[in-house]
Structure 1
Amino acid sequence: MFCKDPIYTPKYATLIATFTALCLAVGKLIVGIMSGSVAVLASAIDSLLDVGISVFNFFALKKSEKPANSKFNYGLGKLESLAATFEGFVIALSGMYILYTSCVKFISSHTIENLHYSVGVMIVSFCVTFCLVWYLQKVAHKTNSQVIKADVMHYKVDLLSNGAVLCSLVVISISGFDKLDAILGIAIAVYIMISAFKLIRESVLLLLDRAIDPHIFARVQEVLENAPITSYHALRSRLVGNIIFIDVHLVFHAEITLLEAHRICNTIEEQIRALDTSLVWEINAHLDPYDDSEFDVILQRT
């Protein structure tokens, strides 16, 4: 999201993913219809869904990057999590459809024709998907985009399913056991639905303002504990895309000047931001002359 190199921006990545998924979907759909392989057809349907998801993600990212305004004071960063949640539900639905189709194929007798075409298209699909996952992982590492992380998980599932389909087709060509195609389709469907549940869960937690990762939170606490302040309290955090929001109350000696307290506060904020420069930090520090409990005692005495 905040990457200087255009090729590693989330929007550019979604365009590449869209074009790649479209090409793979068309190729697998043609071969799947020709061969009658339920596993290849299931993979084709999954790729078609990838196209729709990637287009949706592109517009979600475009909207989420718009600056804050009078209506949305904190920006539209949560659109990324909404897009990822939507993607998870679509993946789950595709898994259910693949499961249904595979069960029907398993019960009924079917023979795979033009097996060499199916093997060829799955080899190409596996290699292309591998390259796409590598690229998306690099973008996710540079930007920490929730949508791209969801895409990485999604295409890793595709990579595994493509590899499994390829292996099954090779086994079928050797053994002639056509029902392995349907059995593998069932296994892929179950794996897809489990992955979708994990993705939905992670996205919903972000929509509910889940706190940042414990190890990053502990490092923030370490900075505060080593700072030249009396104490701190009301430390809170939440994550939106690659933006970390931190709220904290910093307690200073009552005699300190406002200028000096402000200088120390700026230093603390710089140290926190230096913990991970790939993230965007929004820090809201409130300066207190007393701890809240001490202040209550002072008010009772006056």
Structure 2
Amino acid sequence: MRIEQKATLISTVIAFLLVAFKLTVGIISGSVAVLASAIDSLLDMVVSLFNYFALHNSDKEPDEHFNFGRRKLEPLAAVIEGTIISLSALFILYTAISKMVQGSVIEHLDLSMGVMVASLVITASLVLFLNYVAGKTGNMVIRADALHYKTDLLTNGAVLISLVVITFTEYTFIDPLLGIGISVYMIYSAYPLIKEGILMLLDAALDPESVGKINKLLNTQIDISGHHDLRTRRSGSDIYLSVHVVFSISTSLYDAHMVGDKIELSLKNLFPENTVYALIHLDPYDDSEENHIEKEH
């Protein structure tokens, strides 16, 4: 088993333990903020499971059923994760508003604070471990997982601060107010996940900066007279692109093929953190206008 997969399994187990602790204490104490943190940890567990599933299956070699592999599992998981996070945030928002209207009573504050302190220590240790794995492997999924748990440190810290404030001031309205804040933050965090996942599933082009880098590389190739019809897309951590490169009509097929291989290697080196699949069309003359007319008709 790869170290990335081990990391996601460790994240899943730790998230499960945090869910059990926080959920039990949240129900006993009646704290919306602790319950919100428990649901957040539950989502962390789901995210880690999805990451393990994505890493385990997306690396499988293409076969007769999936000729281009299974990299789309990663954006599909991101959309599902983002949707679950958003729905859970709406539930937390509803619960917090209800408690604010009806009034809330929080009991066993010492127990609630204890579980949040333990959560901070455990989550901080997990972040350090995930950062180590991400630095060693360069895996983007693990880096995203580490970033996700870093945000948990902030929410856990905010919950702990609110419980301390309530202990000394008895301002219990702070608890549902923080629950509202956490729910809004969760929706805000989920939106980029859903957006990026949907764009990737729809084969959206690479960002303008990446496309600009590709065009700049192609424009500096002295062995070709031009290029056109550049198309790009991303699938998981893989990049797919196709482009027509134009040669002189007197260039031999052998020479054109060698130049095409050189350009393909340069494109792969342009994105060292990704696997690049480049399809280079070798044109003996510039047929871009002809292709444009065919598309119009």
TM superposition score normalised by structure 2: 0.89
**Which residue is 2:295 aligned to?**
none
Specify the code of the residue in structure 1 equivalent to 2:287. Answer: D
Whether the 8 Å CA contact 2:229–2:288 is kept in 1: the answer is no
Whether the 8 Å CA contact 1:248–1:284 is kept in 2: the answer is yes
Whether the 8 Å CA contact 1:99–1:186 is kept in 2: the answer is yes
**Which residue is 1:232 aligned to?**
227
**Cα shift at 1:134:** 4.8
How far apart are the structure 2 equivalents of 1:51 and 1:293? Answer: 50
**Which residue is 1:143 aligned to?**
139
Deviations 1:85-114 (A, max 9, x none): 000011011101111111121122332222
Equivalent of 1:266 in 254, 261, 267: 261
**Which residue is 1:47 aligned to?**
41
Equivalent of 2:153 in 155, 159, 173: 159
**Which residue is 1:207 aligned to?**
201
1:61 aligns with 2:55: yes
Whether the 8 Å CA contact 2:230–2:244 is kept in 1: the answer is yes
Equivalent of 1:128 in 106, 122, 125: 122
Equivalent of 1:277 in 272, 278, 297: 272
**Which residue is 1:30 aligned to?**
24
**Which residue is 1:6 aligned to?**
2
What secondary structure sits across from 1:274 in the alignment? helix
1:289 aligns with 2:284: yes
Whether the 8 Å CA contact 1:150–1:199 is kept in 2: the answer is no
**Cα shift at 1:284:** 0.5
Whether the 8 Å CA contact 1:144–1:241 is kept in 2: the answer is no
**Cα shift at 1:69:** 1.5
What secondary structure sits across from 1:170 in the alignment? helix
**Which residue is 2:294 aligned to?**
none
**Cα shift at 1:135:** 4.4
How far apart are the structure 2 equivalents of 1:175 and 1:282? Answer: 61
RMSD, matched Cα:
2.2
| C-alpha spacing 1:96/1:87, structure 2 compared with 1 (3 Å) | same
What secondary structure sits across from 1:278 in the alignment? coil
**Cα shift at 1:266:** 1.4
| C-alpha spacing 1:295/1:118, structure 2 compared with 1 (3 Å) | closer
Which sits farther off after the overlay, 229-238 or 118-127?
A: 118-127
**Cα shift at 1:216:** 2.2
Count of matched residue pairs: 288
**Cα shift at 1:161:** 1.6
How far apart are the structure 2 equivalents of 1:14 and 1:191? Answer: 24
How far apart are the structure 2 equivalents of 1:221 and 1:98? Answer: 47
Whether the 8 Å CA contact 2:46–2:81 is kept in 1: the answer is no
> Counterparts of 1:187-206 in structure 2 under 5 Å?
187-206=181-200
1:223 aligns with 2:225: no
Alignment gaps of 5+ in structure 1: 297-302
Whether the 8 Å CA contact 2:23–2:34 is kept in 1: the answer is yes
Which sits farther off after the overlay, 123-132 or 100-109?
A: 123-132
**Which residue is 2:73 aligned to?**
79
| C-alpha spacing 1:85/1:293, structure 2 compared with 1 (3 Å) | closer
Specify the code of the residue in structure 1 equivalent to 2:273. Answer: S
Deviations 1:122-168 (A, max 9, x none): 122123323434544565671234xx465455434423221211111
What secondary structure sits across from 2:270 in the alignment? coil
Deviations 1:206-263 (A, max 9, x none): 1111112322221211111111211011111101111110101111111111111111
Specify the code of the residue in structure 1 equivalent to 2:107. Answer: E
Which sits farther off after the overlay, 100-109 or 229-238?
A: 100-109
| C-alpha spacing 1:131/1:209, structure 2 compared with 1 (3 Å) | farther
**Cα shift at 1:71:** 2.1
How far apart are the structure 1 equivalents of 2:289 and 2:17? Answer: 66
| C-alpha spacing 1:153/1:208, structure 2 compared with 1 (3 Å) | farther
| C-alpha spacing 1:209/1:182, structure 2 compared with 1 (3 Å) | same
**Cα shift at 1:51:** 2.2
What secondary structure sits across from 1:247 in the alignment? strand
Whether the 8 Å CA contact 1:98–1:185 is kept in 2: the answer is yes
Structure 1 vs Structure 2: percent identity of aligned residues?
47
Whether the 8 Å CA contact 1:157–1:192 is kept in 2: the answer is no
